[in-house]
Amino acid sequence: AALVDAEHSSGEYLVKGKNVAAFTNKEEEEVHTTDVVPYLLETARREHGALHHEAPNRSENVVTDGRLITGQNPASAHGVGVALLNALRQSA
């Protein structure tokens, strides 16, 4: 969510053309937050040009695109951590 409006110095959204995972609109509906959150993350990322990849609700889904590592939901937390550690090891 932190990167949803982040832009490059060129003005293009950081997620444009990037493969990402995020809490899906279906997951938002399932937990009854569509009327509470300021925007639906999946929709916002798609509008900003991201290539959204989703797994079934509440399933682990980690997507890495270059140095960008994203997870779909809390079930993805461990996988995101592993991907981050692997990325740090490769850059060392």
Contact 70, 53 (CB under 8 A): no
For the cut 90, the answer to whether the pLDDT of residue 1 exceeds it is: no
- pTM across the whole model: 0.90
pLDDT of residue 12: 96
CB neighbour list of residue 86: distance below 8 Å, 6 or more residues apart: none
34-84 pLDDT tens trace? 999 999 999 999 999 999 999 999 999 999 999 999 999 999 999 999 999
Map out the domains of the chain as residue ranges.
19-91
Tokens 């079934």 -> residue:
56
What is the H or E stretch that residue 62 is in?
strand 62-65
